[in-house]
Copies of this chain bind each other. A is one copy, B any other.
Amino acid sequence: MKERIIAYFDERPDQFMSGEQLSQFLQCSRTAVWKHIQELKKQGYRFESVTSKGYRLIEKPDTLSAATIIAASGQLSVFSQLKLHSTLDSTQSEAHRLAMDGANHGTLIIADSQQSGRGRHGRPWFSPAGQGIWMSLLLRPVLSLNFAPQMTLLTAVALCRTARQSLKANVGIKWPNDLLIDGKKISGILIESVGEDELVRYMVVGVGIDCNMTEDDYPQELTGKATSLLIETGNRINRSNLIVDFLREFDELYNLYMESGFAPIRTLWESHSVTLGNPIKLRIGDRLVEGIAESMDEIGALVVRWPDGSTEKIYSGETQ
């Protein structure tokens, strides 16, 4: 039924169609028409709705192309296979399930929407269909567990450089791995590591990027906190191309890291940071503390100068 509605609008570009016309064409009630339109909106279709004129289709959703992603990523050392889903509970959870079943390094899981997308500290992640990139990359690096947090910083650098180069977006990294435009969060990174004694067994690199949401698409609790690349750059994002651009950038940094260690990643992180040189409020366990974020040390800890002049290396914490 929804396909017929889209075909109907496709044959009448830029025209308004009244609910009455649609219900006659589809031989169903106007209430049923309204319901189908609502469902199409959820899938990323956009309609202009004008009283007395009816509906006009103004935009189709961006569709994820497995062919585009596979064709461009085949040579990358961080990519081996693509698992593309229209919906999943969570790409992170699916990656863990596949990892436990023995899936290879480079298995990439992408979902057009997530039913219960996960952010840091078990928080939900808003993951509507068609509007963002929700993906998880399974890696099996030969890496000591104590270095695992460096992958978090590497991923933030890769995502920041992708947004700057591909989209000319003025993105900066907030410690440790949030990407901000004008103080608003545009993406999230969640890296889940599973270690055995002193070794990494596998890692799941989770990336969420808000692409094509308008301001109306956000639930109230995210207003002023989250933003999309569409809102910030004015351009609709082709998600498949952005995924490919990110994978290429990530692959380059990953190989650099495996060959040369953390030093070049640290330099890049520092140059893209909006945290360094500025005041920072941190929650460390039960402590709520304020200081100046001064630098990143050679293993990836944030060096913070406290009001009394002393400095401390911060390995983990929640910025306020």
Binding site for B on A (CB under 8 A): 120-121, 142, 144-149, 152, 176-177, 189-199, 201, 285, 299-300, 315-316
Contacts and interface: CB of A to CB of B under 8 A. Distances in A.
29 contacts: A120-B196, A121-B196, A144-B149, A144-B315, A144-B316, A145-B145, A145-B193, A145-B195, A145-B316, A146-B146, A146-B147, A146-B299, A146-B315, A149-B197, A152-B197, A176-B198, A177-B197, A189-B197, A190-B196, A191-B195, A191-B197, A192-B194, A192-B195, A193-B193, A193-B194, A194-B194, A195-B195, A198-B300, A198-B315
Contact of A198 (B194, B195, B316): B316
Contacts of A195: 145, 148-149, 191-195
A283 to B, nearest CB: 11
A317 B194 CA distance: 17
A183 to B, nearest CB: 21
Given A142-B285, A148-B145, A197 B120 contact: yes
A177 B199 CA distance: 13
Contacts of A196: 120-121, 190-192
A interface, over-half SS: mixed
Nearest to A189: B197
Contact of A315 (B147, B152, B193): B147
A190 B177 CA distance: 30
A48 to B, nearest CB: 42
Contacts of A285: 142
A147 B316 CA distance: 11
Contacts of A145: 145-146, 148-149, 193, 195, 316
A191 B146 CA distance: 14
A201 B148 CA distance: 13
B144 A199 contact: no
Contact of A197 (B142, B144, B190, B299): B190
Nearest to A286: B142
A176 B145 CA distance: 14
A120 to B, nearest CB: 7
